[in-house]
Amino acid sequence: MFLDAIAANCRAHPQKTAILFLGGEAVSYAQLAQTTNRTAHYLRALGIDPGDRVAAQLPKCLPFITLHLAAMQIGAVFLPLNPGYPPAELRYFLADAGARLLFADRTKQAALTEMSASLPALQEAIFIDADAPWSDRVSGYSANPVSLPVDPDQTAMMLYTSGTTSRPKGALITHGNLTANIEALHSAWGWRADDLLLHALPIFHVHGLVVALHGALHAGATAELLPDFDAAAVLDLLQSRRYSVFMGVPTMHRRLYAQAAGTRIDLSFMRLLTSGSDRLPDDLFFGYQRSFGVTLLERYGMTETGMNLSNPLHGERRVGSVGMPLPGVRARIADPATDLPLPDDVVGEVQISGAHVFAGYWNQPEKTARAFTEDGWLRTGDLGSRSRDGYFTLKGRAKDLIISGGLNVYPPEVELALMTHADVAACAVIGCPDAEWGELVVAVIVLAPGAAPTADEIRAHCRDRLAAYKAPRRVVFAAELPRNALGKAQKALLRGTACE
Ligand code: MLC
């Protein structure tokens, strides 16, 4: 399993750097193993049993990583949470998951203490100073692994994804899922022990955690972590430290390309530059070839599955395509109405099966059942087609979803927040195309009679209730919303009028 691979790397080269926090501490494989083991004992001493949910709303730091690995070691369920969630959103995740522990940044203590005390399942909220040495906190515990057998079917992580019609749901990712994913990526992308990864992604999503960080640790490679993405810093580092691997979302690649400003910067020494979490625009694919002398490798995944499809490491990386199924992954294009497979070159729903596909949604048997076809394939909600030679191309979404900067935003969630504003009589949230962000969240609002709030007031209202990336970038006031016979807002029409 994935954890066994890390343990083997610790034995094979204990002194090698596993993780370097750029501008901060270096952590060897031996230190990572020891700190993880001590943290596992610490969690046990706090009363954490297999299956208990351990939540972390922390920046990119060693405590986050060791809590993640330690929770998995003892069969607990790790629940990573975006530090940008305001208390109202955080409360929902903790309550829904029935989290027993929350680890949060010390700076959040005042804002979260009262909320966490109101959650009956939450035994304790532990506030930590992410910069203080984590080893101090766990130094009193044994450095040997906790010997609790962990089964591949046990849940390792719970990752919240929003829904088109409901509040966010916790996707249950098992140890077997993680292992299947990482082994597939290891062979498809040729991960090597001498790889050097520049990690500039958030660490609480599949992309940054499972694809990038797990990938490096599983290979026994070194991951160098930046706390945030900054295009100038990343471009300098890629050249000066000669990384072999970098992974990003299209918005990051757009900024790196803009940073190069048309000059030729040779990155051809890099082994692997990937793009994912949103579709890669063609001009960026070609722009990278011209500016950096590299061909981006585009791949396709989702929270519920990790990675599904990828362009090849060797062979044709096809512009506009997300490639072919990874080893162990089965992918098909099916008619979304009947779930019957469609011929090549016909657009239908992308459906996936394999050992990497999640176990279901936490406490949501009906939603889990709806996510799968009768013959067990996962309905991704993404539309696409497959070429005769096996390359998949995404063509849109069957679901009402906006992707902005590689983050999924579900319009109904934003609409719910907007409707709690007294001045909003009706609203529809749409995604408008944007060169940098892919799409921007735009709210079209019909005001209550006599109301005259400013767009900034509306945005501030959303930001109090939702993470900043979900808040509308633009607010358009309208006299009415175009509606269909069923009374539903016609978003396709709105996109035509409200997106400039
Ligand atoms: C930040 N903002 C966003 C945003 N990110 N708004 C919309 N969409 C986003 N993705 C907000 C900020 O809060 C800020 O608001 C304003 O936009 C400008 O911020 P910024 O400083 O320019 O943004 P930055 O912090 O640089 O973030 C941009 C980014 C980041 C691209 C680096 O969004 C990012 O790291 N994206 C990657 C997301 C990711 O990892 N996705 C993987 C999901 S897993 P204000 O109001 O304060 O000015 C998955 C599966 C798979 O999808 O296949 O990978």
Predicted pLDDT at 164:
64
Report how far ligand 1's centroid is from the alpha carbon of 469 (Å).
6
Mean pLDDT of 456-468: 95
Residue to substitute in 85, 162, 185, 251 for testing ligand 1 pocket (most ligand atoms within 8 angstroms of CB)? 251
pLDDT value for 493: 92
**Any residues with CB less than 8 A from the CB of 36 and at least 6 apart, and which?**
66, 69, 70, 73
Own/partner long-range contacts of 91-97 (Cβ < 8 Å, ≥24 apart): 91/115, 91/118, 91/119, 92/167, 92/168, 93/55, 93/160, 93/168, 93/170, 94/55, 94/119, 94/122, 95/119, 95/121, 96/167, 96/168, 96/170, 96/362, 96/363, 97/53, 97/55, 97/158, 97/170, 97/362
How many Å lie between the centroid of ligand 1 and the Cα of residue 249? 9
- Reply yes or no on whether the pLDDT at 3 is more than 80: yes
**What is the pLDDT averaged over residues 272-276?**
98
* C-alpha to C-alpha distance for 446 and 424, rounded to whole angstroms: 6
Please report the atom of ligand 1 found closest to the CA of residue 437: 8
Distance from the alpha carbon of residue 200 to the mean position of ligand 1, in angstroms? 12
Mean pLDDT, residues 294-323: 98
Q: What's the CA gap between 482 and 491, in Å, rounded?
A: 8
Segment 189-212 shows an average pLDDT of: 98
Question: What pLDDT sits at residue 399?
Answer: 79
Distance 407 CA to ligand 1 centre (A): 7
pLDDT (mean) for 11-34: 96
For residue 8, the SS3 value is: helix
Q: Which residue bears the tokens 């993880």?
A: 36
Query: Region 441-460: what's the mean pLDDT?
Result: 95
Give the mean model confidence (pLDDT) for residues 56-63: 96
More confident of the two residues 406 and 2: 406
Q: For the residues of 156-168, what is the DSSP string, one character each? A: EEEEEE--SSSS-
pLDDT of residue 191: 98
Is pLDDT of 486 > 80? no
Residue 489's beta-bridge partner residues? 483
The pLDDT of residue 131 is above 90 = no
Residue 251 has pLDDT above 80, yes or no: yes
**Is 345 within 8 Å of 352 (Cβ atoms)?**
no
Q: Is the pLDDT of residue 162 over 70?
A: yes
Q: 165 falls in which pLDDT band (50, 70, 90)?
A: low
Nearest-CA residue for atom 34 of ligand 1: 405
Ligand 1 atom nearest 251 alpha carbon: 31
pLDDT digits (tens, 9 = 90+) for 329-385: 999 999 999 999 999 999 999 999 999 999 999 999 999 999 999 999 999 999 999
Q: Which tens digit of pLDDT belongs to each residue from 72-93? A: 999 999 999 999 999 989 999 9
CA of 93 to the centre of ligand 1 (A): 20
Ligand 1 atom nearest residue 405's Cα: 10
Among 178, 181, 226, 229, which is best to mutate for testing ligand 1, by the most ligand atoms less than 8 A from CB?
229
CA of residue 96 to ligand 1 center, whole Å: 25
Tens digits of per-residue pLDDT, 464-479?
999 999 999 999 999 9
Which of 256, 441, 469 maximizes ligand 1 atoms within 8 Å of its Cβ, making it the mutation to test the pocket?
A: 469
- Between the CA of 248 and the centroid of ligand 1 the distance, in Å, is 11
Q: How far is the CA of 251 from the centre of ligand 1 (A)?
A: 8
pTM of the model: 0.95
Query: Which protein residues are within 6 Å of ligand 1, measured from CB?
Result: 201-202, 205-208, 229, 249, 251-252, 276-277, 301-303, 404-407, 437, 468-469
DSSP 28: E
* Nearest CA residue ID for atom 46, ligand 1: 468
Mean per-residue pLDDT, 312-341: 97
Supply the pLDDT for residue 152: 96
- pLDDT band per the 50, 70, 90 thresholds, residue 484: confident
Tell me, what's the pLDDT at 278?
A: 95
For 437, the 3-state DSSP assignment is coil
